Amino acid sequence: MITALRHAAQLVGAHPPGVASLRGERLRDPAVIPDGALIIEGERVAWVGPSADLPPLPADAQVQDVPGMVVLPGLVDSHTHLLFAGERLDEFEQRLGGLTYQEIGARGGGIQSTVRRVRAASRERLKELARPRLARSLAFGVTTVEVKSGYGLSPVDELKCLQAVADLNDEGPVELVPTFLGAHAVPPEFAADRAGYVRLLCDDMLPEVARCGLARFCDVFCETGVFGLDESERILRRAAGLGLGLKLHADELTPLGGAELAARLGAVSADHLLCVTEAGIDALARSGTVATLLPGTAFFLGVEFAPARRLIERGALVALASDCNPGTCPTENLPLVGAMACARMGMLPGEVVNALTLNAAAALGQAERLGSLTPGKQADLVLCSGADHRQLFYHFGVNHVWRVFKRGRVVHTAATPALPR
């Protein structure tokens, strides 16, 4: 089956084959083809170029003209906690009343309150709750979502969560990339024996997750009062030994040195980085570890944004993701996260496009297959109304997405027609 899209106002993210990630000044170039065309063959992009150069097509090819549309690679949300039960509206209001996220956590709220709700929910119920979130992500142009466990914190509940993620991935159309985050917090039954929980993670939970093939990555919340640098290193080294890729919640609330640890261990990404130090920036800049920034979290917590400009200018690989979770960032709106990156972190629209697509795919170790409109890659595409990709972050808070393709098939069309310009 061959489909061709012609006369798009812009094709964006049309990087040449072999570009695996972008850093420094190269991050700025969104690789735009004006009046662009694209051929999809089965699940793959077969050809990309100016409409004037479109090669002859077989008689049964489906050809669609899309003037007034910008075509982008499907967005990749490379950091979410979107499998959860229960909203945390009371905590939202307590924070507005002056309590900090950490103070709420110390009173048994925060992550632990979601853990109670997730433990009480069945695998089916968790899936029911996650489906509308995934549908909203898709409607905002997201075709691949990393989803972390981390609200079960026991062998049976963590496996339940990862199995739910595997089921949802099988359902499609959004592709889910599972990450084991058993080290998200110390569960209450181990409050007096944190070493015992680290042992349980290393000796029991991680080997079981690896044996069942239920996670591609292992992540740790490396933070003052959660898991320290030594504990994080021990857990991640064990995960690496079992064949899992590594991710790290690094320097989110305090400057603990998580960025340096992630770079030293060759993690695929170091995420958050609100409090990253100069040494941490240097370590990331010298590494292949992707600095994944989550501006929605800084926005929602009302704290300083991550130093995106310094990271980019010093040469670190930078990606953007939502962090969708019930405590620190309850949104699936990834283009809005991009608008925050522009308005509050000084990122340029071209940098944001690449940080939400190619570099986000790199943060999942999937850049050879996802993240750009490149012949041979999976045909995951978003069609947005407008003549210029910068609209997506300039006209913020509205949904510009008209249609989404996953693996070469239309999987979403907006109920209301494209935004008139």
Size of the site for ligand NIG (CB under 6 A): 13
The residue ranges of DSSP E strands in 210-303, in sequence order, are: 217-222, 245-250, 269-272, 290-293
Name which of ligand NIG, Fe ion, none residue 75 binds, using a CB cut-off of 5 to 8 Å depending on partner kind.
none
Structure tokens at 95: 């924070």
Site string for Fe ion, 274-293 (x = CB under 5 A): --------------------
Q: How far is CA 151 from the centre of its chain?
A: 18
Taking the complex as a whole, the smallest distance from the CB of residue 57 to ligand NIG amounts, in Å, to: 46
Residue with the shortest CB distance to ligand NIG? 327
Beta-bridge mates of residue 272? 250
Q: Are 183 and 235 in contact (CB under 8 A)?
A: yes
Nearer to Fe ion, 30 or 150 (CB): 150
Instruction: Please state, in angstroms and rounded to a whole number, the distance separating the CA atoms of residues 217 and 215.
Output: 6
The residue ranges of DSSP E strands in 297-369, in sequence order, are: 317-320
Hey, is 372 helix, strand or coil?
Answer: coil
Nearer to Fe ion, 11 or 360 (CB): 360
Taking the complex as a whole, the smallest distance from the CB of residue 364 to ligand NIG amounts, in Å, to: 16
Instruction: Please state, in angstroms and rounded to a whole number, the distance separating the CA atoms of residues 22 and 98.
Output: 40
Q: Which stretch binds ligand NIG (CB under 6 A): 21-29, 304-312, 318-326, 401-409?
A: 318-326
CA distances from 96 to 99, 170, 340 (A): 7, 39, 20
Taking the complex as a whole, the smallest distance from the CB of residue 112 to ligand NIG amounts, in Å, to: 9
User: Does 252 engage in binding with ligand NIG (CB under 6 A)?
Assistant: yes
Interface positions, 298-337, toward Fe ion (CB under 5 A): 323
Count of other CB atoms within 10 angstroms of residue 403: 21
Instruction: Please state, in angstroms and rounded to a whole number, the distance separating the CA atoms of residues 124 and 329.
Output: 24
Residue 247, classified by CB atoms within 10 Å of its CB into exposed (0-12), middle (13-18) or buried (19+), is buried
Q: What is the 3-state secondary structure (H, E, C) of 145-168?
A: EEEECCCCCCHHHHHHHHHHHHHH
Phi then psi dihedrals of residue 371, to 5 deg: 100, 0
Q: Are 226 and 240 in contact (CB under 8 A)?
A: no
Taking the complex as a whole, the smallest distance from the CB of residue 293 to ligand NIG amounts, in Å, to: 12
User: Does 258 engage in binding with ligand NIG (CB under 6 A)?
Assistant: no
Q: Which stretch binds ligand NIG (CB under 6 A): 236-244, 323-331, 363-371, 409-417?
A: 323-331
Site string for ligand NIG, 76-95 (x = CB under 6 A): -----x--------------
User: Does 325 engage in binding with ligand NIG (CB under 6 A)?
Assistant: yes
Name which of Fe ion, ligand NIG, none residue 331 binds, using a CB cut-off of 5 to 8 Å depending on partner kind.
none
Q: Which of 258, 327, 350, 371 binds ligand NIG (CB under 6 A)?
A: 327
Q: Which of 72, 111, 268, 383 binds ligand NIG (CB under 6 A)?
A: 111
Size of the site for Fe ion (CB under 5 A): 1
Interface positions, 375-414, toward ligand NIG (CB under 6 A): none
Taking the complex as a whole, the smallest distance from the CB of residue 80 to ligand NIG amounts, in Å, to: 9
Name which of ligand NIG, Fe ion, none residue 357 binds, using a CB cut-off of 5 to 8 Å depending on partner kind.
none
Residues 6+ apart with CB under 8 A from 52: 35
Taking the complex as a whole, the smallest distance from the CB of residue 185 to ligand NIG amounts, in Å, to: 8
Structure letter (DSSP) for residue 67: T
Nearer to ligand NIG, 221 or 405 (CB): 221
Q: Which stretch binds ligand NIG (CB under 6 A): 109-117, 119-127, 370-378, 386-394?
A: 109-117
Residues 6+ apart with CB under 8 A from 262: 246, 247, 248, 250, 269, 270, 284, 287, 289
Q: Which of 221, 227, 300, 402 binds ligand NIG (CB under 6 A)?
A: 221
Instruction: Please state, in angstroms and rounded to a whole number, the distance separating the CA atoms of residues 53 and 4.
Output: 13
Site string for ligand NIG, 278-317 (x = CB under 6 A): -------------------x--------------------
User: Does 351 engage in binding with Fe ion (CB under 5 A)?
Assistant: no
Residue with the shortest CB distance to Fe ion? 323
Taking the complex as a whole, the smallest distance from the CB of residue 65 to Fe ion amounts, in Å, to: 41
Percent helix, strand and coil across the chain, each to the nearest 5: 40, 25, 40
Tell me the residue length of the chain: 421
Taking the complex as a whole, the smallest distance from the CB of residue 91 to ligand NIG amounts, in Å, to: 9
Return residues touching Fe ion (CB under 5 A).
323
Return residues touching ligand NIG (CB under 6 A).
81, 110-111, 114, 221, 249, 252, 297, 323, 325-328
